[in-house]
Amino acid sequence: MDNPILSHLLAAKRILRYMKGTLDCGLLFSKSGYCDSDCMVIRVTEKYNKLMVALSSCEAEYIVASIGACQALWLDNLMIEMKIRREEPMKILIDNKLAISLAKHPVAHGRSKHIETRFHFLRDQVSKGKLELEYCNTNE
């Protein structure tokens, strides 16, 4: 910061007092997170803040996985900032084989051409090797 003011100094002191009192504590990063669609209705929160209706369960799972991928990659970037490196791509478990196929094979599927372009972020990240998709049986 080029021009810190008194409030910055007070905030820094507060952080240092907090750290001093929690030296025996640590950070715990869970290796898993969840997102799911329910009856082809997707409740998208925070960024999109609207209710979406998908035309198929494949589309619903694909959209939800794309939104989950955004959150996973944000966490990955945070870990990089903290100098925590991972060698393997982040794994996303999906319970819809067609959604996985749609994300892994970047060809124009006739039944998915209506999906908004922004949700193909998942496909892009899978092709770059940043994400890995794996089938997760819902009975497990």
The helix (run of H) or strand (run of E) holding residue 79 is helix 57-81
In 3-state terms, what secondary structure has residue 12?
helix
* pTM assigned to the model: 0.64
pLDDT in tens, the chain (140 residues): 578 899 999 999 999 999 888 888 877 666 666 666 665 555 555 555 556 677 777 778 888 888 888 888 888 888 888 888 878 888 888 888 888 888 887 666 666 666 767 777 888 888 899 888 889 887 75
Structure-block tokens of residue 64: 């939800």
Round to whole Å and give the CA distance between 65 and 99: 9
By the 10 Å C-beta count (0-12 exposed, 13-18 middle, 19+ buried), 121 is classed as middle
Burial 47-71, CB ≥16 within 10 A → b, else e: eeeeebebeeebbbbbbbbbbbbee
Read off the amino acid at residue 112: S
Q: For the chain, list the strands marked E by DSSP.
A: 41-44, 50-53, 90-94, 131-135
